[in-house]
Chains A and B, each alone.
Chain A
Amino acid sequence: MKKTFIARNPSALWFLAALAIFTILVTVLSESVGAGIISTSFLKTLGKTLCLCLVAIAMDVVWGYCGILSLGHFAFFGIGGYAIGMWLMYARTEGIVVTSLQSNPLPSTPQEITDAIGTQIFGVVGSSEFPALWAFSQSLPLQLLAVVLVPGLLALVFGWLAFRSRVTGVYLSILTQAMTLALSLYFFQNDTGLRGNNGLSGLQNIPGLEDRSQATVSLWFFWASAAALAMGYILFAYVVSGKFGSVIRAIRDNEARVRFLGYHVEHYKLFVFTITAMVAGIAGALYYPQAGIINPAEIAPIASIYLAVWVAIGGRGRLYGAVIGATVVSLLSSWFTGGSAPNINLGFYEIRWTDWWLVLLGVSFVLVTLFLPKGIGGLFDALVRKPDVDRQGDYGPDKGAWRDEEGAPE
């Protein structure tokens, strides 16, 4: 079985090999175990990029393969981040609080400890009560479960409602945008209990690993991200290959026809929507400890649109295309917006890339759509694949039957 999987997905093998080499290379050049050429902050950028690649391949499966242009998948990514962030904040604050309370002459009661943690965490929003959302925050296993289950459940309910009513195309995209907008507004409220626009912070400090340097912890997260990306890639390569892949691509191309073959299209869409949401949650849970902070702006509607842009630029309908798109665009983005790109002085006007990067991205997106409809990944076709045939057959011999007019698909 393994052999046939590889045989059916030669690109998966190439991808995994490239990822392994990249991981080894970065490790060798890292500060904590290697030559120290890659700074810890850049190591974090690389680790985060791997997480973005993971959510991008999820997006590619849902959009590029199944044809559902979800503009809400970053919400699932953010939920994953919040879920792990809650444990990180709780456990770390607990550590600090317990240490500081030890100096008290009397041992403190559990209630006092909890109150002190609550004041520490929720002081910024003028509260000290633990909101209901934090019920499991002291338990790492439960919050880890939440990383996959909450996005999965949300996707399941949302998808069930949307697909069952046969909402498709641009209407579905708008609906997913509404979902992520609603969620981000909800998270923004102080009452929600997720610290409003402050978000969760200090996530780079991992409880229990206080004596490890950030250089080491970052490398571990980089490894974890690489491993998650590898597993995600294998999972999705399996999903989109074989007959299941055949069915979802058929749904993308002509879902009505698939129904007449006896497939419940809605179930397939729901499956794909949900499983990609769960993977997006995992990606987010690995991303935000490396970023150190998460706030509701992260799941603003624009974030999910960027995700679609990455996949489009990289080339949808091929997993490595999504990886290329996410890597190229997010690294370029941090280069341009980080102020490293040299400004261009036109004499009368200075192009500052921090302001103009979005314009550049927009223009590149339009150019890619126009001239490279298969994205950057499409360039690989010239190497390996025969060009796709798109032959429109004629309509048969007898002209009298109005076939052209009546023969529209569906």
Chain B
Amino acid sequence: MSTLLEVSGVSVTFDGFRAINNLSIQIAEPELRAVIGPNGAGKTTFMDIVTGKTKPDEGRIVFGDRGDSILGMSESQIAQAGIGRKFQKPTVFEAQTVRENIAMALKNPRGPFDVLLSRKADNSETRIREISDEIGLTDALDFQSGALSHGQKQWLEIGMLLAQDPRLLLVDEPAAGMTPAEREHTTELLKRAAKTRAVVVVEHDMEFVRRLNCKVTVLHEGSVLAEGSLDHVTQNQDVIDVYLGR
């Protein structure tokens, strides 16, 4: 187990409001990590920073074996380096079919000429099948993804994340809009992915987090309040005060 992502001393200010305050987190590979915390704690902003969407005011973020800083990289370079993300609100391309969405995400060369001239890679149809089976959308492959329910869009975005085959998966509230059975399936899926990769899951549903059975980081006001097993952090008085006890 080696460190894949190292965030140290990162701060972000929005119009004078400190959304992330001297935050330091390390994620190993492979690892499954749950990040919890009250609304506005900065969980999504943390993912925004790691994926290059938001530039931090200060701090250091390094990723990968060579410890490259991601601060100078664009969003697409970061994604190509192996950081994939599922958004809190599922954002799939609604005007396109489920198949097209997955195909776009599949790990293949990303340049315009590669894509224009690519004869379909031999395995891509198989891969699409595997993924759609995994996310239960095989029957919907040729549907416009705008027609899917909220939960199905969540699945589709998880499927796109798997298709990208990243080293680090940032998964923001995957279980919202899912039935209990689907939540269980999501747990299984994330646990399996975390066998070979680093997976960071943000979730409010404590039952869900418990089933993940992994190390938990509690964020509050933009910095780490507590870290450890779920039982450990839930007994922490600070955590009870700001999060669990509300």
What residue in chain B is nearest A238 (Cβ atoms)? B116
A249 within 8 A of B: yes
- What are the residues of chain A within 8 A of B80 when measuring CB–CB? 262
Residue of B nearest to A259 (CB): B75
- Contact A396 B176, beta carbon cutoff 8 Å: yes
- Contact check, A403 vs B89: say whether CB atoms are below 8 A apart: yes
The interface residues of chain B lying within 8 Å CB-to-CB of A394 are 150, 177
| Beta-carbon contact of A267 and B112 below 8 Å | yes
Contact of A390 among B89, B94, B100, B119 (CB under 8 A): B94
Produce 1/0 per residue, A68-85, CB < 8 A to B: 000000000000000000
Query: Which residues of B49-106 have CB atoms within 8 Å of chain A's CB atoms?
Result: 51, 53, 74-77, 79-80, 84-85, 87-91, 93-96, 100, 103-105
| A216-275 contacts to B (CB < 8 Å) | 239, 243-244, 246-247, 249-250, 253-254, 256-265, 267-268, 271
Which of B74, B85, B93, B116 is the one whose CB lies under 8 Å from A253?
B93
B153 close to A (CB within 8 Å) = yes
The reply to whether A406 and B104 form a contact with Cβ atoms under 8 Å apart is no
How many A residues are at the interface, by size bracket? 35 or more
**Is B229 close to A, CB under 8 A?**
no
Tell me if B138 is interfacial: C-beta within 8 Å of chain A. no
Query: Which residues of chain A are within 8 angstroms of B111 by Cβ–Cβ distance?
Result: 264, 267
Distance in Å from the Cβ of A296 to the closest Cβ of chain B? 33
> In the complex, what distance in Å separates the CA atom of A391 from the CA atom of B90?
13
Known contacts A250-B96, A401-B173: A393-B148 contact under CB 8 Å:
yes
Give the docked Cα–Cα distance between A394 and B164 (Å): 26
Interface size on B, residues (CB 8 A): 49
Closest CB-CB distance, A1 to chain B, in whole Å? 8
Contact A391 B91 (CB under 8 A): no
- Would you call B110 an interface residue if the criterion is a C-beta within 8 Å of the partner chain's C-beta atoms? yes
| A359 at interface, CB cutoff 8 A | no
List B21-51 residues whose CB lies under 8 Å from chain A: 39, 44, 51
Q: Is A402 in contact with chain B by the CB < 8 A criterion?
A: yes
On whether the beta carbons of A260 and B85 are closer than 8 Å, the reply is yes
Docked pose: A388 CA to B143 CA in angstroms: 10
Does the CB pair A254–B76 fall under 8 Å? Answer: no
A22 within 8 A of B: no
In the complex, per-residue mask of B162-199: 1 if CB is within 8 Å of any chain A CB, else 0: 00100000000100111000000000000000000000
Q: Are B93 and A257 in contact (CB under 8 A)?
A: yes
Nearest Cβ in chain B — how far from A404, in angstroms?
9
15 A-B pairs with C-beta separation under 8 A: A243-B100, A243-B103, A243-B118, A246-B96, A246-B100, A253-B94, A256-B53, A260-B53, A261-B105, A262-B79, A388-B144, A389-B147, A391-B147, A397-B176, A403-B88
Chain A residues in contact with chain B, CB under 8 A? 1, 239, 243-244, 246-247, 249-250, 253-254, 256-265, 267-268, 271, 388-391, 393-398, 400-403, 406-410
